[in-house]
Amino acid sequence: PLMQQWRGKPLDAKAAAKIFVGHLDHAAAPEGSQKLPWSWKIVCGANPAYDAFPQQHQIFYPAGAGESDEMAQGGSLWYDPVFLVETVDGRKVWCKRHYRCTPRRVAPELRAPGDSSAGAWTLSTLDNGIVSLEVCVCVCGCNGNGNN
């Protein structure tokens, strides 16, 4: 199920986007952000894709000119993972992808009270000529007080 509350309030589209923007040094970051050059760093993976690319930096930021208005209305984000790849000949190369993150509706049984799908995203990118679609959901987030 989707995360239902964040910082004592029902999770809405703006709060879900702020969780993704995370610690990035950006005006759209939540209060208490560490103001870093990245939103999140992957330190361990739940799937082989994350484990295969160490030192992954995830960067999420609002798409569009009216960033705060767009976030408040459940607008899109950009997601730029930057990761280290070891080539077959042993070289280490930094690589980057560029994804569009759009809010999506989830099945009724997964929605939060009030029929909310806030925190459910579709991530899309063009990868070597193939459109890649991934789904992502917010299931937990630090409330800013050390408690999840």
Contact 84, 23 (CB under 8 A): no
Amino acid 125: pLDDT: 94
**Maximum CA pair distance of the chain?**
54
Q: Where are the alpha helices (DSSP H) in the chain?
A: 13-21, 48-52, 67-72
- Print burial letters for 48-83: b (CB count within 10 Å at least 16), e (below 16): eeeeebeebbbbbbbeeeebeebbeeebbbebbbbb
Contact 66, 55 (CB under 8 A): no
Amino acid 4: pLDDT: 86
Q: How far apart are the first and last CA of the chain?
A: 15
Q: Is the dihedral of CA 66, 37, 101, 81 positive or negative?
A: positive
Q: Is the dihedral of CA 104, 84, 39, 69 positive or negative?
A: negative
- pTM beyond 0.85: the answer is no
List, for the chain, all residue ranges whose pLDDT scores fall below the cut of 70: 43-47, 49-50, 65-74, 142-148
Beta bridge partners of 99: 79
Contact 31, 145 (CB under 8 A): no
Amino acid 1: pLDDT: 72
Amino acid 71: pLDDT: 56
CA angle 20, 24, 30 (to 5 degrees): 60
